[in-house]
Amino acid sequence: MSKLRHSFLFSIAEDYATLLIQITTTVILARLLTPTEIGIFSVTIVLISLAHRFRDFGVTEYLIQEKNLTREKIQGALAVNISTAWIMSVIIYLSADWAASFYNNSGVKDILILLAFNFLILPISSNIIALLKRDMNFKAIFIINIAGATVHAVTAVYLALLSFSFMSLAWAAVASTITTILFASFYRPKLMPYLPSFKNSKNIVSFGGIVSVSSIISTTGQGMPDMALGKNQDFEAVGLFSRANSLVRLFNQLIMSALNSISLPDLSQRLRNGESIKEHYLMMCTLVTGLAWPFFISVAFMAYPAIYILYGDQWLQSVGAAQLLSIGAIAMLFAPLWTRVLLAYGLAKDYLKMQIKIQFITISFIITGSFFSLNAVATAIMVSQLLSSAFIIYRLSLLLQFTTSEYFRSITKSIAVTITTSIPLFVISFFYEYNNNNYISLFVISSILAAAFWGLGILLFRHPLKVEFSKMLKIIKK
C-alpha cells in the first residue's frame, strides 16, 4: 500500500500540474476563441479520439497486465502499435472530405488532415509510457506529461493570438506529441526494443482486439454528445456542451486520472500475487466517493459562478447542462474504476459485453435528446449514467463476491459527508441568486464553507479519508 501511495502522489502531482496548465490555457482561449470555433474542434477531436482507441489496440493494457513480459512480446506490441497507427493515419486522411461534408464545415477537414500526420509518430513514445506505467515509474511519466502539456498550452495560446482560430489547437496537439516523444526517449526502459516484430503479436491481437473494440464503444458514447449536437443542433451548442463537460471533468483530472493510471498496475500486481481484491475495491469505493460526491454536488450548486469566472459570460448558457452533468457524475461514481477491475482480471470479453450494453443505452438516449436541446442531451446522459451504475455494481458484486449490504456499508459515510457538504450551499442558494454583481463574492464564500463542512463531515463521521490523508502527509514530509 505504501508503494501505491507514493505512485498516487506522483500521479496526482502530475494531474494537478497538468490541470493548472490546462485551466490557465482554457481561461485564455475561452476569451480568444468563440463557442463555434471550440465546437468545430470538439467535434473533430471526438473523431480523432475514436481513431486513438483503435490505434492503441489495447496494447497499453496488455503490456501492463501481462504476467510474463519479455522483450519479444514488447516487439510484437510495437509492431501492432505501428500497424494500427499508420492504418488510422491513412483512414483519417481519406475520410477528411466526407467528415467535412457530413458536418458542412471545411474546418473539420483541415483539422483531420493535420492530425493524420500525428498518428504516424505516436507509436514512438506510446509503448515506452506503457512500460513506465507497468513499473509504476510515475516520476518519469510526470516529467514527460508536464513537458507535453506545457508545449501544448504555449503553442495553442500563441497561435490563437495570431488568429489561427481552431487550428491553433490542432497544431498544439502535434507540438505536444513531438515533445512527448523527445522526453520519453530519455526514460526508455532497457527492455524496450528499437525494432518491431510480428513474431509474438498473435496473443496481443487477440487480447488487444477485444479491449480496443470496448474502448471504441466507450469513446463513442463519451463523444456522442458532441457528434449528435454538431449534426442536429449547431457548433455553438457543441462548444457550450464542451465547456459544461470540461467543468464537470475537473474531478477526473484532479483525482480519477491519477487513480486510473495506478489502479490497473496495482490491481494486476495484487492478482498476480494471489491476493483477493474485494476489500481493497470496497475501500476504493469509500475513498473515491468521499472525494467525488462532495465535489460534484458543489459544482451543481456553483456552476454559474464557476463558468463565469473560468470562461466568461459568453458561456453562461452552459450552466444548466453543467448542473445536470454533475448529478450524472455522482450517479456514475457509484461504481468507480470498474473497467480497471475487469482488465486486471484479464476479462476483456466481459468488458466488451458490458460496454456494448451500457453504450447502447447511453447513445440511444443522447441521440434522442440531441433533436431537442443542449439540456435534453445532458439529461439523457444523467439518466443513462444512473442506469449504467446499477448494472455495473451488480456485475462487480458477482465477480468480487460482495453483498449489497457490504457495498452500501462502504459508501454510507460518503453519503453523510456529501450531505454535510451541501448544507451551506443549499442555504446560500435558497437566500441568494447568482448574478453579474455577486457571483465572485458568493463563489468565494460558498467554496470556503463547502470545504469547511466537507472537512467537518470527514471528522464527524470518521471517514477513512482522514487516515489516508494522514498517511500521505507523512510520505510527503519524508
pLDDT per residue as tens digits for the range 289-328: 999 999 999 999 999 999 999 898 889 999 999 999 999 9
Predicted confidence band of residue 261 (pLDDT cuts 50, 70, 90): low
Residue 249: Cβ-neighbour burial (10 angstroms; 0-12, 13-18, 19+)? middle
pLDDT higher than threshold 80 for residue 442: yes
* Residue of higher predicted confidence among 77 and 373: 373
Share of the chain above pLDDT 70, in %: 92
Name the band, by pLDDT with cuts 50, 70 and 90, for residue 477.
low
Asked whether the beta carbons of 396 and 335 are under 8 A apart, the reply is yes
Its pTM surpasses 0.85: no
Confidence of residue 352 (pLDDT cuts 50, 70, 90): confident
Give pLDDT tens digits for 34-54: 999 999 999 999 889 888 877
Classify burial at 93, counting beta carbons within 10 Å of its beta carbon; exposed 0-12, middle 13-18, buried 19 or more.
middle
Residue whose grid cell is 456552476? 303
Q: What is the DSSP letter of 253?
A: I
- In the chain the first and final C-alpha atoms are separated, in Å, by 16
Residue 448: its pLDDT value, please? 96
Say what the pLDDT of residue 363 is.
94
